Structure formats: structure tokens, C-alpha cells
Structure 1
Amino acid sequence: MIVQQSHPVTLIGGAKVYNQGLQRALTLAPTLVAADGGADSALIEGRMPDAVIGDFDSLSDSGRHCIPPERLHEISEQDSTDLDKCLRNVDAPLIIGVGFSGARQDHQLAAYNSLVRHPDRRCILLGRDEIVFLCPPSLRLDLPVGTRLSLFPMGAVEGVSDGLKWPIAGLNFAPDGRVGTSNQTTGPVHLSLTAPKMLTILPENALETATTALQNTVAGWS
């Protein structure tokens, strides 16, 4: 394990960071880890990453020379994304990822794939308008009434809910079948899922609420 922390970690990728996202994430997760070329984005923002993890195919020469060599952790294999490499090698109660949304659709889809491939890692991806994370087996969210809450399955999964305008009990979700986008909250939400396959999508202003909820959730996927 390259990074081990008892508090949340901010992970920065190479895509655009929106809404002062880096500072906002660091307020909640003070340790900064960069995924490959995300180190250049961190340096542009005046932040020195505590660690850089990746295959270094997108890290600039100037960035490499600015960062102390003991903070550079090269993983040369090309069979996984840099986010995947980071999730494998960062052990923390929560990871907040910035710079992984919005630049390219294929990169964004790969990021969602990584969330599902590593269900034991709690990770929120913060984008310009939304946050995305893999729902744990059970989750309580104290959200304002009328908050948009979307559930998108990355595999076959079922569940039950309280506090949603359209309850999910009795529905069989699948990426090529029923999905649960554009639901709304009617009060505090409780979700229970049968498998580590459901992405939860919320407005970006729910970041702090989701961060607290995920850290307070004991149940997790093995």
C-alpha cells in the first residue's frame, strides 16, 4: 500500500477541476494524492501532492522535476487506469476525487468502472454539477426535500428505499434494463442495496452531506 491514512484523502486527476473543487475537497480531505498527470493540475493550483501514483504517461517533465522523487510512485502496467491504480494503493476511510469528470466520456465511464471494481474503497467523484459514488449496502442521507437523486446500476442489483418520491422496492435494476435516474427526495433518505453495483448521483452541493454520511456508514462491501 502506497498511501495509508486514518482520515479522508483528496485525489486529483488530469481533467478540469470545477467550482474551486480542489480547495473544497482538501477542506474535507487534507491529504493530497495525484493520479499521474493530476500532479500537474495540483502544481498549477499551487499544491504539492503528498504522493503521485500512475504510469506517468501524462505527467510532464517539469512536473516530475518539481516533485520530490520519494513522492513519485510509478506503476508501469497499462492494463488499468490511473484512478484504478490509485484506488488499489490508497487506504483511507474516504477518497474525494476531483479532475475525473467532464473532459472525455471514455475517461469518465472508466472512472465509474473503477468505482465498481473497488467496492471496498469509498470514493466520491466531484464534478462541475454532480457527485458520483458507489452506494454501500446501507446508506442514510439527510438531504433537503426535492433534491434530485439518481441511481444508475452498473450491474444487476435490487434494493429498498425510504424518502424517495418513487420507491425502488421490487425493481430489478440493470444497465441494459431499468435505471433509477431523476428521482427526488421527500425527506431523509435511507437506501439498502443487494450488491455493490449502484452508482448514486447527487447535485454537487450535496458533497459535504455525502462525505459525512459515507464516513458514518459502518456497513461496507468486502
Structure 2
Amino acid sequence: MSLQRPLTIAGFVHIEAGYNNVAPWKEIEWLEKSCQLPFRSIAAIDLTLPCDEFHQLINKLVTFTSVVGCRHILDEQALQLLSSEQVQQNFVTLNQYQLNFEVQMPFADEKAVNKLSHIIANNTDVTFIINHAGMPPTDDCMHSYHSSWYASLSRISAFKNVAIKCSGWEMFDRRYDKLWLADIINQCITLFDVHRVMISSNFPLTLFSCSYKNYWETIIATLSQNQQDLLHNNSKYWYKIP
């Protein structure tokens, strides 16, 4: 992972890679021993753990200086998980620690977004970061999906403790269209304003579609303004990168 001038990597955010979900601190421990650039890390977490076990795990994770939050991949289980009383209680613990939570789920699932909305409203000290632009539609023919996705993002954007991260295009279509990418980013900026939108790479999965260098060149060519905020300042702020 490297860039050539005038592009540079000032720092990064590591989102849990599932190295050891039973003992997620081992992944963090390795990172803090191995990485030189300024960085922050998001640890794996199991939102379904009993409250005592969940609290103990969070207590351990926050002893690592890089940890600013956690992620339980919700995906298609979002409605089931967010409806769970156990999960809702564990969000209260995240709120007490004022941690970030990475929200990875399809925002076209309006029932799940309804549950998420209540959790966000009840946990205002958690910073919720929407992953992969909320999993937008890739086909113009998917009108109903797009309408649900946009309406859900519009609803969630009303909460000021929510930001959105645009990445993961290769997860939806490895030959994604650059005009589509630009359109999704612009829609996110319209909904959240420029200071709550971050552009990231989803490295190493980015390499399914193009080189790391080519990816960032494409992104920069797409952004006509606010490049410093979208590519640097916002991530530094939301993830508390030194």
C-alpha cells in the first residue's frame, strides 16, 4: 500500500479484519506493534454477548491507544440484531465509553433502519459511521431499491452523531462505473454535508478492481472540490487520528 507524490498517506484507519473475533484485541495488539504511520483502529465486537462479557471486552479493548470504536457486521441480519434487547443494552455500554460504531448494513432495508434510528436517538454519545455508503444500488433499473436507500440515508442524516464513509464499490460491482461512483458520492454529500462524508479505499479489496494508486487517482478526478476535507480532514476528525 503506497502512493507516489503528489499523493501521500498521512495516516489510516484499520477496520477489523476478522483475524480473531473471539479475542479481537490480538489483532489490535499486532497493529500497535507493527505500524509506523498515525492510525486508529476499529475492533471486532459481538453485539450479542451477555452484558457482563460485553463490558469486560470493551474494557480490555479501550486499553489500546489506537482503538476508537468497534464493528459487528450487520448486513442482512441487521433487523434481527437491532431488534434484540441484548444488542440494544450493549449499545448503552458503547455510549458510556463514547465509542464509534461502524454500521455495515443495506440502507434499503427500511425496517432495519427504523430500528437503527431508535438506537442512534438513544445513544447520542456513540459516533455511528455508515460503511460503504449504505450499500447503494448499482443499476438504474433498481428504482425502488434506490428510493429506499436514499430515503433511509436522508432520515439518518438528521442525527448529528452520524457520518458516512464512501468506499467498497468493488463489493457491488468490480467493474463499477466512474460516473455512478461520482453520483453516489454527490448524493451522500447532499444528504450529510461535506463535513460528514469520508472517502476511503476499502484496501485490500480495492485491488479486485484496480491498483491502489489508480483508485485514488480516479477518486481525485471525481472530486471537483473539498478534496482536503473528503480525503483527509474529515477522517482525522471522526476517527480522532493524531
**By the TM > 0.5 criterion, same fold?**
no
Larger RCO (CA within 8 A; separation ≥ 6): 1
Instruction: Indicate the structure with greater strand content.
Output: 1
Task: Give the structure-2-normalised TM-score.
Answer: 0.31
